[in-house]
Amino acid sequence: MAVVLRKCKRNGVKLVQQTCSIGFLKKRLPIVEWLPRYNLEKFQGDLIAGLTVGLTVIPQGLAYAAVAELPLQYGLYSAFMGCFIYCLFGTSKDVTLGPTAIISLMTAEYAKGEPTLAIALCLCAGLVQFAMGVLQLGFLVNFMAFPVISGYMSAAALIIGCGQLKLIFGLKDVRRDFIWNIYDTFRKLPETNHWDLTLGVISFVILLIMKWLKDRDWDKNRDPFTPLTTRQRVGRKAVWVIGTGRNALIVIATTILAGVLFSNNIKPFTMTKDVPPGFPDVGPPSFSYQHNNRTVEGEEFLSHLGAGIAVLPLIAILETIAYGKAFASRNKYRIDPTQELLALGMSNIVSSFFGSYPMSCSASRTAINSTSGVRTPLGGIFAGLLVILALAFIMPYFRYIPSAVLGAVIIASVINMFEYQAIPKQWRIHKQDLLVWMACFLCVLLLGIQFGILVGVGLGLIFELYGLAKPGTKVDIIDCCPKIAVMRFEKGLSFPASDFIVTTIHNAGLDEPPYKPVILDFTHVSHLDFSVIRALSISVEEYATNNTPLYFACVSRSLEMKLKKAIKDLQCFPTVQLATEAILDEGVHGCIGMGFTEGQNRGTRRITPGTGASTEDGDVHQPILMTELSSDHLDVSSDTGEVLQNNISSSGRDNHETAV
């Protein structure tokens, strides 16, 4: 007892020392690491990037709030506090947190347009993410393979884009579910507001043109040795600025147009609802709200959030870490995934006190932040300050924003999320992945995001487990006397493959007389567990019973030690060639011992119909199958966990032979 107490005390002291060290502080509060080296040059880069991102997030926040089916101001409530918190705890200079298309769609699905539910969901998501960071459970998102991610993102882009058609056409009372949304949109086309349609289409086309101008490679056909003129440099910078701020420019221009018409009592466009000005109410999220003239609280309140408490945080983690790693690799620095989990969790927790719905990393704004020359996470501070200024001074003017323009902004933002190019690539490279992609895509469209992700992940795991249960094997026949089968395993072996291993090894050499010696090539095998070793020992005894060699080749030293502890008289060779020579040396005396006894004649072999038995000049000869070995055939040491050889007596072994 005293020893245990001393050990606990020693570990506790060590943990306290590590926690209270400067290194731990820099790891968990990264701003302490980079802030002392901050200078005017970095400030300039952060200021330009922050203002650029701020001009982008304001119209996107308003548009994504519409996707989340919340009042427009909640898009801006979700766009500033995360920037401040991430500046303290984040490890990526490029990542910008705020409302995103996917998270907004999921918020609409789980919050059902109720702001109280959306804010509570933000707090719950933050708590889950923070707990996963503390427990270092970020690896869970690795189970979402590329086909799953691509499938659900493509389906979500289609759902979001089709959901905005009602704004482009100026339609009302269109249901949210994808199938009903498409049905209602086509059914109500005669009710189209042609002014909304015209403005929406023009805005969408202009946004695409601006994006094309920004992304175009202007230096493709230019002589690299010819310097740019001042006019060219200014023109390209102007094109980049206009293309980067295209969402803000189109919203400002159409808002001014609609405001002028509205002041002259001309109202051709469908406007957004009134947006209350000012800062959000600060306080802890409420876990009760009024629904159908009654108060929903407690367990019923949480039940309304449903699976969103678990699914939404995972999707937000996936977006943040994936985009963070991508831009870190592009800009040649590293991020700490665990710290990113903590930063994302803290951002959602604190933001929920400011009326925010769940947030994540935005791919488009992160790309803008990176190309704008951001130097540190401090750039997010300037973006957040710009959002606060918008909340304080220009919120009353948001009522003049045409709904069709917000729809065009959303469609232009998500159009590149549909990864159609992944379909032919998966078909050419690995068709199983395309099946996972299609299953996830269709289930997200028809059943919802959480079910689509579960189906995609589940189907991917089924394919992976099938590969474990039936690992790739290749059997080559060496044409000599006797014929030798060389069986190669293409990867490591684990317990689901135990029965498959026994059957495959049996079929390789004992399927029909004359029996063939078998060499097991372990070149690509690096792992064996107890179940697999037990299966191999069954095969060794089966071949020994039928007087046929079963040799091992190319086994690593560690695996050879394991096998020798479990298999008596293990025949192991460094190469397949040496194992082959050993078999040929044994078989030079008329192939005696290769499944034939000394008195058998190697005459014409005939298969007896219906029995599967082989007749050699009237004698029926079948392999003796070792299918019923005692449970104590192999033992594991309770002290060391090593595989032990259990010496079974010859009489005991006879009891386990099956009748032919």
Q: Is the pLDDT of residue 625 over 70?
A: no
User: What is the number of other CB atoms lying within 10 angstroms of the CB of residue 524?
Assistant: 14
Per-residue model confidence (pLDDT) at position 610: 34
Per-residue model confidence (pLDDT) at position 468: 82
Per DSSP bridges, beta strands 518-521 and 484-489 are parallel
pLDDT tens figures, 517-527: 999 999 988 88
Per-residue model confidence (pLDDT) at position 659: 33
Mean pLDDT, the chain, integer: 82
Closest CA to 515 of 457, 600, 576: 600
Averaged pLDDT for residues 201-215:
90
Weakest mean pLDDT among 73-82, 271-280, 596-605, 633-642: 596-605
Per-residue model confidence (pLDDT) at position 551: 93
Instruction: Please tell me the distance from the alpha carbon of residue 71 to that of residue 200, in angstroms, as a whole number.
Output: 21
Please tell me whether the peptide bond between 482 and the residue prior to it is cis, using omega within 30 degrees of 0: yes
User: DSSP H helical segments within 78-222, as ranges?
Assistant: 81-89, 101-111, 115-134, 146-163, 165-169, 178-187, 194-215
Q: Is the pLDDT of residue 54 over 70?
A: yes
Cα separations (Å) of 485 from 323, 538, 579, 591, 594?
Answer: 50, 18, 11, 15, 12
Banded model confidence at residue 611, pLDDT cuts 50, 70, 90:
very low
| HSE toward the beta carbon, residue 244, CA cutoff 13 A | 22
Per-residue model confidence (pLDDT) at position 583: 87
- What are the domain boundaries of the chain? 27-218+236-415, 421-469, 473-590
Per-residue model confidence (pLDDT) at position 587: 63
Tokens of 395: 């919120």
Averaged pLDDT for residues 314-341:
87
Q: Is the pLDDT of residue 653 over 80?
A: no
How buried is 613 (Cβ within 10 angstroms: 0-12 exposed, 13-18 middle, 19+ buried)? Answer: middle
Banded model confidence at residue 211, pLDDT cuts 50, 70, 90:
confident
pLDDT tens figures, 252-291: 899 999 989 988 888 888 888 777 878 888 999 998 888 7
Per-residue model confidence (pLDDT) at position 121: 94
Question: What is the full DSSP assignment across 514-556?
Answer: SP--EEEE-TT-----HHHHHHHHHHHHHHHHTT--EEEES--
Q: Is the pLDDT of residue 602 over 80?
A: no
Closest CA to 357 of 65, 60, 9: 65
Per-residue model confidence (pLDDT) at position 275: 77
Per-residue model confidence (pLDDT) at position 481: 73
Averaged pLDDT for residues 333-347:
91
What residues have CB less than 8 Å from 214, skipping those under 6 apart? 239, 240, 242, 243, 244, 246
Q: Is the pLDDT of residue 199 over 90?
A: yes
Instruction: Please tell me the distance from the alpha carbon of residue 152 to that of residue 480, in angstroms, as a whole number.
Output: 55
Q: Is the pLDDT of residue 528 over 50?
A: yes
Share of the chain above pLDDT 70, in %: 87
Per-residue model confidence (pLDDT) at position 27: 80
Weakest mean pLDDT among 52-61, 348-357, 538-547, 645-654: 645-654
Tokens of 611: 């029995």
Question: What is the full DSSP assignment across 9-63?
Answer: HHHHHHHHHHHTSHHHHHHHSTHHHHGGG--HHHHHHHHHHHHHHHHHHHHHHHH
What residues have CB less than 8 Å from 527, skipping those under 6 apart? 492, 493, 494
Banded model confidence at residue 607, pLDDT cuts 50, 70, 90:
very low
Please tell me whether the peptide bond between 496 and the residue prior to it is cis, using omega within 30 degrees of 0: no
Averaged pLDDT for residues 433-447:
90
Q: Is the pLDDT of residue 650 over 80?
A: no
User: Is the model more confident about 108 or about 635?
Assistant: 108
Cα separations (Å) of 638 from 455, 456, 566, 592, 644?
Answer: 40, 40, 15, 42, 10
Q: Is the pLDDT of residue 138 over 50?
A: yes
Cα separations (Å) of 225 from 65, 220, 221, 222?
Answer: 48, 13, 12, 9
DSSP 357: P
Per-residue model confidence (pLDDT) at position 1: 66
Banded model confidence at residue 126, pLDDT cuts 50, 70, 90:
very high
Q: Is the pLDDT of residue 594 over 60?
A: no
Name the architecture of domain 473-590: 2-Layer Sandwich (3.30)
For the entire predicted model, the pTM comes to: 0.72
DSSP 307: T
Tokens of 648: 């079974």
Q: With contact defined as beta carbons under 8 Å apart, do 595 and 546 qualify?
A: yes
Per-residue model confidence (pLDDT) at position 136: 83
Q: Is the pLDDT of residue 512 over 50?
A: yes
Share of the chain above pLDDT 90, in %: 27
Per-residue model confidence (pLDDT) at position 163: 87
Instruction: Give the CA angle between residues 192, 195, 200 to the nearest 5°.
Output: 90
User: What is the number of other CB atoms lying within 10 angstroms of the CB of residue 232?
Assistant: 13
Phi, psi of 472 (to 5 degrees): -65, 130
Weakest mean pLDDT among 91-95, 239-243, 571-575, 591-595: 591-595
Q: Is the pLDDT of residue 542 over 80?
A: yes
| HSE toward the beta carbon, residue 379, CA cutoff 13 A | 32
Q: Kindly state the helix (H) or strand (E) to which residue 574 belongs, with its residue range.
A: none
